[in-house]
Amino acid sequence: MNRLLPTLLAFTVAPLAHAQDVKRDIPYANPALERQVLDIHAPKDAKNLPVVFWIHGGGWQAGDKSAVQDKPGAFVEKGFVFVSTNYRLLPVVEMETVFRDVAKSLGWVHKHIAEHGGDPNRIFVMGHSAGAQLAALMCTDDRYLKAEGVPFSALKGCVPVDGDTYDVPAIIETAETRRRVHGEPQAKVGHREKFGNDPQKHRDYSAVTHVAKGKGIPPFLILYVADHPDTSAQARRLTAVLKGAEIPATAFGAKDTTHSKINDRLGQPEDPATTALFDFVADSLKR
């Protein structure tokens, strides 16, 4: 990868660095229900800039759009508009409602981000943990975004970060088998409890199920913790399926980190996953 590209990108937007407008709790539905809000971080006087759409993690039942650490500042300094969204959570709503909330939020961004200095046709979809599953699903199962008027052609790339549910049946079988063979009790709130007990829905909620050549699926960078057995296996699985469909895909395993730290450190100087991220973004913007 060309490590000069992020530097060049940063240089072109240097006058915008360290100055940003932040708008919080913007409703993306009408009427907006609880948690149907998003935040926008943009450089001062932004115009027609690429957009990062960030989906927080938290097991689909916790988390908040405010937990973005250094990411907004890092992206704004490089000339991006950064959007962080909330969505309704389990068990208040069902899993498919979570999916529709995220799609509705992205639909609002596509329609309105130009008013905040962003380019609606250069959007990167990213997320951590549960947000990684949501990001990958939004960028492979086009039914959700089509319902909100967002074509895949508007997406420049997808960056799921340390997710373990790109293939839901695989993680359910893996986790339950591991507990069973070791004589451990099954989880009280595991993947089966969150995703339901319908095998067809498990397949339908999996990004790998929807990958196909010719759909316009954007390039993927899949970040994961190198020594985490489940997220690394799922990253390799999704990468292989994408490449099998001739979709550009790279998996980057971060070393000496954890599930939380890989997310917390994104945007920090000298962080290897951040370097891989900005290399990917710069390359994707040239496509």
The predicted-structure confidence for 131-182, as pLDDT tens digits, reads as follows: 999 999 999 999 999 999 999 999 999 999 999 999 999 999 999 999 999 9
Q: In sequence order, what are the beta bridge partners of 125?
A: 53, 158
Please, what's the b/e burial string for 214-246 (b: 16 or more CB within 10 A of its CB; e: otherwise)?
Answer: eeebbbbbbbbbeebebbbbbbebbbebbeeee
Q: Can you read off the two tokens belonging to residue 182?
A: 């070791």
C-alpha closest to that of 157 among 214, 76, 222: 222
Question: Residue 287 pLDDT > 50, yes or no?
Answer: yes
The predicted-structure confidence for 15-66, as pLDDT tens digits, reads as follows: 344 578 999 999 999 999 999 999 999 999 999 999 999 999 999 999 999 9
- Scanning the chain, the segments in alpha helix (DSSP H) are 4-12, 71-77, 95-112, 130-138, 143-146, 168-181, 191-195, 199-204, 207-210, 229-244, 259-264, 272-285
Backbone angles phi, psi at 265, to 5 degrees: -90, -10
**Residue type present at position 252:** F
Check if the beta carbon of residue 154 is closer than 8 Å to that of residue 85: no
Kind of pairing, strands 49-55 and 37-43? unpaired
Question: Residue 254 pLDDT > 50, yes or no?
Answer: yes
